[in-house]
Chains A and B, each alone.
Chain A
Amino acid sequence: MTELPLTSRARPDRRPHALGEWRALGGYAAVERARAMPPAEVIDMVEAAHLNGRGGAGFPAGRKWRFMPERGTSPGEGPNYLIVNGDEMEPGAFKDRYLLEALPHQVLEGAIITAHATHCDEAIILIRDEYRPGIAAVEHAIHEARDAGLLGGLHVRVHPSAGRYIVGEETALITALEGHRAVPRKRPPFPAQSGLWGRPTTVNNVETISLVPHILDLGAQRFRALSRTEEGGTKLYGVSGRVKRPQLIEAPMGTTARELIERAGGISGDGRLRAFQPGGGASGFLGPEHLDLPLDFGHVAVAGSMFGTGMLIVLDGSACPIGLLARHMRFYARESCGWCTPCREGLPLVSKILDRFEAGQGRRADLDLLHMTADEASPRGRSFCDLMGGAMAPLSSGLRMFAAEFEARLAEGERP
């Protein structure tokens, strides 16, 4: 394969490949390779490749897989489960849609290999309902692969969700699959010990899974060397918001925002970069001084934000950052599962205050309340899952970075 393993086989019009075409392009060779290896060796390879999970947290995939017990070694009876998370709903994220629609066999190949490495008997690919073309493409791919005997003994099925952001959370997704309202669960026990139906479970993002076959094809060292940093491989970056040609770009891990924005046609609006979120709606803002920061999990964390999904949202000088924050908070308020009080009550309040500011009716006490909420609710552990903390990341960094805008709006509000 070339240096852009993830997308180089895709058709420009995003039509998925039939199995025959996919195999002619080298598809499923990695599955054979993996099956000839003991699971532990596949994990060694993935670790050596430095593959970090692409769903948002960036946890090393190999290390996560190592938590999975071998068949028959965990107490009780039942299968081990692999869940492929394609419930992508984070504002600004549009990579999994592309992978599911355009490259379903790649997703499936990755699932087969991952299931082998993690001793899983069953794989469930969870996809949001709005991604019907992706659901259809993956279902068709499963059908073809099953008929061709490529699944081995692995049971694979698609589970379409029905429109709730929280379902994408690792443990909430397990609760959802068990037929309950998707509320997150306490960790520990981690899913690898007790996940779906209390059985060992691994949850990986669609992009993570899609990269796995390429580690087998290229070898760990070559895969790792595709990156510009310590974190291996390429990344499917997204650039959207105020750029001239919003798009997905596969590039070496560690590519800079400057390069990505340039490839997306440059800044639109007034042509000046004001700020960007490096990892979707729940990542803190970075400024022009971070244009040359290598974008990967480690570097972005050191810069004080989160790489998350690696999907950039770009703000130019003429975009209203308060308006953007208001949209984000409205989204998180609506999508809260409602379990924890700060999240259920706090987010709608924050959202309402931001709406007031946007309308030029903000008050000093409101601004104080925003600061207080951000300070109190940001630290991990203040609420049960990461939704609340994630929502606070753009708010806290936004309050700092856009202090002048808030003051200006305040002045408007205080004018009689």
Chain B
Amino acid sequence: MSLSADLLARIRAASDDHGGPRPAMLEALRMIQHEHGWVSDAHLAEAAATLGVHRAEMEALASFYSLIFRHPVGETVILLCDGASCWLNGADAVREELKARLGIGFGQTTADGRYTLLNVACLGGCDRAPAAVVGRDRRLIGPLSPEGVAELLEGGL
């Protein structure tokens, strides 16, 4: 599936807004991801062609950022904070519970495609530690407990 005409137009517009094709690359990657959930090789190549940059340049940038996904992710991406304050408030137990409940490790997606589990830098939710950020709107949740994780997953994130 190729990128929609609308998306391609917006990628071209980003090039004007950001002062050129190169600085628009990250924005283009973000837009693709927003629409498709992740950035496939084909989409990356198409965006690079649209901007007139080499796909290797685009690839180099995409692989630099941890929140540009180069593999399909689940419907709900769970970003679990691995900052110090969360750890001090019991994040390890929450991590174990999440892994056990979902049957996956960090960096993986459940077989039914519902959840992806990722480690991220301190989420700026230290007052709600242990904290996580979930879903496309990046909702901050916490403080989490192992019991709370069970409840959350049953109730749907």
B79 part of interface (Cβ distance < 8 Å):
yes
How far apart are the CA atoms of A238 and B124 in the complex, in Å? Answer: 11
A271 part of interface (Cβ distance < 8 Å):
no
CB neighbours of B26 from chain A (8 A): 161-162, 176, 179
How far apart are the CA atoms of A160 and B61 in the complex, in Å? Answer: 14
B67 part of interface (Cβ distance < 8 Å):
yes
Q: Are B124 and A96 in contact (CB under 8 A)?
A: yes
Most buried by B among A89, A130, A164: A130
B72 part of interface (Cβ distance < 8 Å):
no
Q: How many A-B residue pairs have CB under 8 A?
A: 133
Q: Are A242 and B121 in contact (CB under 8 A)?
A: no
Closest Cβ neighbor of B122 among chain A residues? A91
CB neighbours of B20 from chain A (8 A): 179
Bitwise, B63-75 to A at CB < 8 A (1) or not (0) is 0111110000000
Q: Are B82 and A94 in contact (CB under 8 A)?
A: no
Closest Cβ neighbor of B87 among chain A residues? A327
Closest Cβ neighbor of A338 among chain B residues? B64
Q: Are B19 and A197 in contact (CB under 8 A)?
A: yes
Known A179-B61, A180-B22, A319-B88: A131·B83 in contact at CB below 8 Å: no
Known A328-B84, A330-B82: A92·B126 in contact at CB below 8 Å: yes
Question: Shortest beta-carbon distance, B19 to chain A, in Å?
Answer: 7
Taking a contact as CB atoms closer than 8 A, the residue among A92, A157, A181, A319 that contacts B122 in the complex is: A92
A interface majority secondary structure: mixed
How far apart are the CA atoms of A248 and B67 in the complex, in Å? Answer: 27
CB neighbours of A387 from chain B (8 A): none
Q: Are A89 and B121 in contact (CB under 8 A)?
A: yes
Bitwise, A315-337 to B at CB < 8 A (1) or not (0) is 10001000110011011000100
Count contacts on A: residues with CB < 8 A to the other chain.
Answer: 50
B48 part of interface (Cβ distance < 8 Å):
no
Q: Are B127 and A238 in contact (CB under 8 A)?
A: yes
Known A324-B84, A324-B87, A327-B84: A240·B126 in contact at CB below 8 Å: yes
How far apart are the CA atoms of A129 and B24 in the complex, in Å? Answer: 16
Q: Are A178 and B64 in contact (CB under 8 A)?
A: no
CB neighbours of B125 from chain A (8 A): 94, 97
Most buried by B among A160, A163, A165, A178: A163
Q: Which of B114-138 contact A (CB under 8 A)?
A: 120-129, 133, 137-138
CB neighbours of A327 from chain B (8 A): 82-84, 87
- A-B contacts, 29 of them at CB < 8 A, read A91-B85, A92-B85, A92-B126, A94-B126, A97-B124, A130-B120, A130-B124, A131-B138, A133-B138, A162-B26, A162-B29, A162-B66, A179-B22, A197-B19, A238-B126, A238-B127, A240-B127, A241-B88, A241-B126, A242-B88, A242-B89, A246-B89, A246-B128, A313-B85, A313-B88, A323-B87, A324-B84, A324-B87, A327-B87
**Contact residues of A with B, CB < 8 Å?**
88-94, 96-97, 128-133, 157, 160-165, 176-182, 197, 238, 240-242, 246-248, 281, 311, 313-315, 319, 323-324, 327-328, 330-331, 335
The 10 A-B residue pairs whose C-beta atoms are closest, nearest first, are: A163-B67, A179-B22, A240-B126, A162-B65, A97-B124, A132-B138, A179-B23, A240-B85, A163-B66, A94-B124
